[in-house]
Amino acid sequence: MKNYTSSNEPTSATCPACGLLCDDLILNATGAESVKNGCAKSITFFEQSFQTDISASASLFGKPCDLNTAISAAADILRKSKQPLFAGLGTEVQGMRSLMRLAEKSNATLDHMHSESTVRNTLTMQNSGWLTTTLAEIKNRADVILAIGTDIVTSHPRFFEKLVWNTDSLFNKPTPEIIYLSVPAENTQAGIAPNGTSPTVIPADTASIPEIVNALNALLHHKKIKADTVAGVAISTLQAVADKLKSAQYAVVVWSAASLKFTHAELTVQSIVQLINTLNENSRAAGFPLNSGDGDTSINNTSTWLSGYPTRSRLVNGKPEYDTYHFSTKKQLDLCDALLWVSTFNPHSPPDIKTPTIVIGHPNTQLEHQPDVFIPVGIPGVDHAGLMFRVDSSITLPLKKLRDNHLPSLSDVISKIEASL
Amino acid sequence: MITLLKNGKIYDPAHKKDGVIEDIYIYQGRIIPKPLDPSKISQTFDLSGKVVMAGAIDMHSHIGGGKMNIARMMLPELQQKQAQETKLLTEPEAHICTPHCSHHAVPSATDTGFRYIEMGYTAAFEPAISPVNARQAHLEMGDTPMIDKGGYAMLGNDDYFLRMLAAKKDQKAINDYVAWILHATQAIGIKVVNPGGINAFKFNQRRLNLDENNSHYQVSPREILQSLSRAVHELGIAKPLHVHCNNLGAAGNFETTLNTMGASDGLPMHLTHIQFHSYGTEGDKKFSSAAAQISEALNKNKHITADVGQILFGQTVTASGDSMMQHLNAKHANPKKSVIMDIECDAGCGVMPFKYRDQNYVNALQWAIGLEIFLSAEDPWRIFLTTDHPNGAPFTSYPHLIRLLMDKAFRNETFAKLNLDAQAMSNLASLSREYSLYEIAIMTRAGASKLIGLNDRGHLGVGASADITVYTDQPDREAMFAKPDYVFKNGELVVRDGVVTKVVWGATHTAKPAFDIGVEKDLKDYFDKYQTMQLDNFKMSNDEISHDGRGSIVVHDNKQASL
């Protein structure tokens, strides 16, 4: 019998474990298996969170120290640094607001741990724009869902349960037709309707997604394709997909930039966007880009209204700069003279580099090499309140404090470092 | 600790003061009568010869929320370019830059606050908060320093309201829902964008006229306007229903606009960015000015107020809740990109960059149409100075716009440089009116305050919040309004010579009319069945705005401000 929450009463919670940000969870004081409306990810998240060492101490090179000592050591490192890198950035809105203030004072470069994926979408949006939708529109309108290169549920487990197999919808839509393109058949179980209807599964390599999407685009433009197959997929199969998309009341095309692991994947995202634009000339369709988690949508939005730019940015004497190529963590690890690694939702380890490193994050962060400074902080939505953006960016929801302990919040710590700079 | 502003020329239309020389006394953030004991005056500003007005109020400016952040995110090149570029004074749209002047169409929250206060604006209102996105809008406004803010919540395309209307729910039920939305979104007014049209777009309708039905709900924009204007009126909300008409930007849309004026059966309505809704179909290019018809109707219909939404030439971005019309117009985007969203059975949005060019026939005529409307409006209390920031131009262009209104020679000189066909289609050169300082003060202060119901702002009477702007009276009105000598926010000196000297945080203005909480019973059921968040999380608490110690909430009486 684990005591999950500070009270013995069932407590409602908002789950920050994925972009769906489900706020209908009920945590019981009795154990993980009794998380009402839980999913694989949320149960893992809350189990992991409630098993943290709430008495974890700050440390310098692995030696425990008090919080103030760690804060002044962190401030020392940043004071000496000319080019610090703030990476990881696994936090929510309030944490990011404080990080932005600190970045301004220390001329830091900012990059989120999942930017490699996010940037594929951002570049497309900045190049051509897109037409997208949100969860409630999918729930009430979508009658055809095309998932490209993603099974959706690995990253967003309750997608089908909440948005696709719902029996209540505003417009009495039929049960949606599901089409998986380039998703391994064994990962398409979630797409089987409650009445047993199987999804359409079109197997193909991830690497051939660009080719297939381009063929779909050609078909939508009534272009003749001379080949019988494209990347092993019969043209007739693709024509059937195109026809379904065209005749849908509201087709939704889902992709996950994280799964498009090939060079210049932004061009493929652009092809997907083009497909959606073409459909909208005569009927309705919309895109739904999935996110990668660890607060990626939250911190990029916060950064954008505070500085004008999403991450992969830098503040130079108060002036923001933006470069999705040069300001990547990978590039900056070679150039920075100090690293501040932040990961509060999950115990992600910092990259191993020789430069002075400050780690502020999850109390259970596994540290192979002891950083100069480690400061364990509370988990947003468990140890303190917070604010989080949903995958569709349109909704921001409060995260609740679920238990009492002495772990400081990230913004407390960052503000103190800022004050002692 | 009393501050004395001595010998200023006071322009305070709320008290009919048109350039009288008077002293103003400030104590604890408010204007007070002349103190009996002059020894308590600790600070005196000699304002001899200076023009003194209340802090300006922008009653319609997109300063926060999802679509602005989308605009920022999709247009990094605007900010990058702006960081390098200085405008040439020979360009028609050029204005006198303050040292920190940003022509950036979508400044960050921080810059927004700074640019406003540097021009003597002490409040701005976000006119398009989609209720599901209210938290983000307030987060962004919460990070906007220096000025007061507030917003109008969008209704009329949300499925909850349209279901009520289709089910012919009684007006009381509608009123309760409207009031509940105001509370839940911490807004001060209600807006409707393309009534019914954003929703219709989700059902693949591409245009919606005033008396055309939304195909699913079988209700018309006119019915939506009737219902919402009545709700706003009966709830005693000071701010009239804020209406972005159907058919924005379409040639011939002036008829929709004229008919919309009649849709509320005489109840107050505010038609926003009316310039974008004043287009005829005459001439070879089938695009003409209908400013004359619109102005005539505006002058006649005393229940209607309007802001102009002036366009000025240059690069900007259009960001609107009107996904239907933005999708239709996306082909005109420059650079060519657009973000369109269907949002949460609640709203929509469309964002695209746009470059207004002085040699383009349509753009040049749009510029002239806006000015024609300004100059033909007989009652300055019913017309407001806006560029629909950033849609017509960034708000930083206001000093330039003020000069166009106050300086006929300058206006005609600019007009003479525009596309010749557009010149031929406009009667602008024949309009000789020049706005006075008093009229500018009405449009940008007293009128805006009265319209929104900000009882203690926008004027310089005893008891008013001491938001005060002091200008040097210069013949070049652009230079004058770009760089005030002093700006006081809540009695504190925060700008000197156009430069911020102290960072302060303004309040969030709201209206919270009483309503029957029983409305939540059906809403809870609706949220549980059809929405994707809990009802309780949809609602924003006061604490969310004020907990950081910077923000604060002002609740205004739900009755017409008495001036």
At B164, list the tokens.
């009520």
ipTM computed for the complex: 0.96
- From the options 3.40.50.880, 3.40.228.10, 3.30.420.10, 3.30.559.10, give the CATH code of A119-290: 3.40.228.10
Distance from CA of B397 to the nearest CA of A (A): 20
CA–CA separation, A250 and A308 (whole Å): 33
Q: Could you tell me the residue ranges of all domains in chain A?
A: 11-50, 58-114+294-419, 119-290
Q: Do B202 and A131 touch (CB under 8 A)?
A: no
* Per-residue model confidence (pLDDT) at position B36: 93
* Per-residue model confidence (pLDDT) at position B82: 72
The order of strands in the sheet holding B314-320 is A200-202, A177-181, A144-148, A251-256, A285-290, A129-132, B338-343, B347-356, B314-320
A58-114+294-419 and A119-290 have identical folds: no
Size of interface A-B (CB pairs under 8 A): 160
- Torsion angles phi and psi, residue B27, rounded to 5: -140, 130
pLDDT tier at A4, thresholds 50, 70, 90:
low
* Per-residue model confidence (pLDDT) at position A43: 95
Domains of chain B: 2-53+459-500 (2.30.40.10), 57-452 (3.20.20)
Tens of pLDDT, residues A126-174:
999 999 999 999 999 999 999 999 999 999 999 999 999 999 999 989 9
Torsion on CA atoms B278, B282, B284, B289, rounded to nearest 10? -30
Of all residues in chain A, what percent are helix, strand and coil, respectively (each to 5)? 35, 20, 45
Interface of A with B in 232-271 (CB under 8 A): 249-250
Find tokens 């140890």 and name the residue.
A383
| β-strand pairing of A177-181 with A357-361 | unpaired
* Contact by Cβ (8 Å): B273, B194: no
Classify burial at B66, counting beta carbons within 10 Å of its beta carbon; exposed 0-12, middle 13-18, buried 19 or more: buried
Which three-class secondary structure string do you get for B359-388? CCHHHHHHHHHHHHHHHHCCCHHHEECCCC
Q: Do B344 and A136 touch (CB under 8 A)?
A: yes
Distance from CA of A97 to the nearest CA of B (A): 9
Which three-class secondary structure string do you get for B207-245? CCCCCCCCCCCCCCHHHHHHHHHHHHHHCCCCCCEEEEC
Of B83, B109, B344, the CB nearest to A395: B344
Q: Residue type at A114?
A: H
pLDDT tier at A28, thresholds 50, 70, 90:
confident
Q: Shortest CA distance to B280 belongs to which of B305, B250, B239?
A: B250
Strand partners, B280: B288
The nearest alpha carbon in chain A to B160 belongs to: A170
CA–CA separation, B260 and B164 (whole Å): 22
> What is the b/e burial string over A265-294, where b = at least 16 CB atoms within 10 angstroms of the residue's CB?
bbbbbbbbbbbbbbbbeeebbbbbbbbbbb
Q: Shortest CA distance to A125 belongs to which of A14, A273, A236, A257?
A: A273
* Per-residue model confidence (pLDDT) at position A339: 98
Q: Do B69 and A304 touch (CB under 8 A)?
A: yes
- CB neighbourhood size of B549 (10 A): 7
The nearest alpha carbon in chain A to B541 belongs to: A398
Task: Mention every residue, 6+ apart, whose C-beta is less than 8 A from residue B540.
Answer: B134, B135, B138, B184, B185, B186
Q: Shortest CA distance to B350 belongs to which of B48, B68, B16?
A: B68
Q: Residue type at A182?
A: S
Torsion on CA atoms B419, B422, B423, B426, rounded to nearest 10? -160
A128 touches chain B (CB under 8 A): yes
* Contact by Cβ (8 Å): A255, A290: yes
A170 touches chain B (CB under 8 A): yes
Best to test chain B binding among A394, A397, A401 (most B CBs inside 10 Å): A394
* Contact by Cβ (8 Å): B147, B117: yes
pLDDT (tens place) for every residue of chain B, 563 residues total: 899 999 999 999 999 999 999 999 999 999 999 999 999 999 999 999 999 999 999 999 999 999 999 999 999 998 887 766 554 444 444 444 444 445 688 999 999 999 999 999 999 999 999 999 999 999 999 999 999 999 999 999 999 999 999 999 999 999 999 999 999 999 999 999 999 999 999 999 999 999 999 999 999 999 999 999 999 999 999 999 999 999 999 999 999 999 999 999 999 999 999 999 999 999 999 999 999 999 999 999 999 999 999 999 999 999 999 999 999 999 999 999 999 999 999 999 999 999 999 999 999 999 999 999 999 999 999 999 999 999 999 999 999 999 999 999 999 999 999 999 999 999 999 999 999 999 999 999 999 999 999 999 999 999 999 999 999 999 999 999 999 999 999 999 999 998 899 999 999 999 999 999 999 999 999 999 999 999 999 999 999 999 888 999 999 986 643 33
Torsion on CA atoms B87, B91, B96, B97, rounded to nearest 10? -20
Strand partners, B31: B26
Cα B453 to Cα A260, B11, B76, B465, B508: the distances in Å are: 52, 20, 37, 14, 13
Of B136, B345, B532, the CB nearest to A396: B136
Query: What is the CATH topology of the domain spanning A58-114+294-419?
Result: Rossmann fold (3.40.50)
Q: Would you give the distance in Å from CA A259 to the centre of its chain?
A: 12
* Contact by Cβ (8 Å): B136, B66: yes
- Torsion angles phi and psi, residue A420, rounded to 5: -95, 10
Interface of A with B in 42-81 (CB under 8 A): none
Strand partners, A359: A341, A374
Contact list, A122 vs chain B (CB under 8 Å): 73
Q: Would you give the distance in Å from CA A143 to the centre of its chain?
A: 25
Cis-peptide into B335, omega within 30 deg: yes
At B453, list the tokens.
């119901």
Contact list, A101 vs chain B (CB under 8 Å): none
> What is the b/e burial string over A92-109, where b = at least 16 CB atoms within 10 angstroms of the residue's CB?
bbbbbbbbbbbbbbbbbb
Contact list, B339 vs chain A (CB under 8 Å): 125, 129-132
Q: Do B342 and A93 touch (CB under 8 A)?
A: no
* Per-residue model confidence (pLDDT) at position A35: 87
Distance from CA of A251 to the nearest CA of B (A): 11
At A293, list the tokens.
């988690």
3-state secondary structure of A62: coil
CA–CA separation, B376 and B535 (whole Å): 47
CA–CA separation, B537 and B533 (whole Å): 7
At B199, list the tokens.
């929703």
Q: Do B341 and A134 touch (CB under 8 A)?
A: yes
Q: Do A168 and B327 touch (CB under 8 A)?
A: no
- CB neighbourhood size of A236 (10 A): 9
* Contact by Cβ (8 Å): B20, B10: yes
Q: Shortest CA distance to A22 belongs to which of A47, A40, A49, A42?
A: A42
Instruction: Calculate mean pLDDT across residues A180-192.
Output: 97
Contact list, B68 vs chain A (CB under 8 Å): 305
* Per-residue model confidence (pLDDT) at position A205: 95
CA–CA separation, B553 and B501 (whole Å): 25
∠ Cα B513 B519 B524 (to 5°)? 130
Find tokens 């929450």 and name the residue.
A5
Q: Do B533 and A23 touch (CB under 8 A)?
A: yes
Task: Mention every residue, 6+ apart, whose C-beta is less than 8 A from residue B402.
Answer: B385, B435, B440, B477, B478, B481
Q: Would you give the distance in Å from CA B410 to the centre of its chain?
A: 26
Instruction: Calculate mean pLDDT across residues A386-394.
Output: 97
A290 touches chain B (CB under 8 A): no
Contact list, A14 vs chain B (CB under 8 Å): 537
A398 touches chain B (CB under 8 A): yes
* Per-residue model confidence (pLDDT) at position B318: 97
Distance from CA of A280 to the nearest CA of B (A): 9
At B260, list the tokens.
């919309």
Residue A32 has pLDDT above 90, yes or no: no
Interface of A with B in 315-374 (CB under 8 A): 319-320, 322
* Per-residue model confidence (pLDDT) at position A34: 74
* Per-residue model confidence (pLDDT) at position B499: 87
| β-strand pairing of A200-202 with A313-316 | unpaired
Contact list, A398 vs chain B (CB under 8 Å): 537, 544
Q: Shortest CA distance to B325 belongs to which of B387, B277, B394, B385?
A: B277
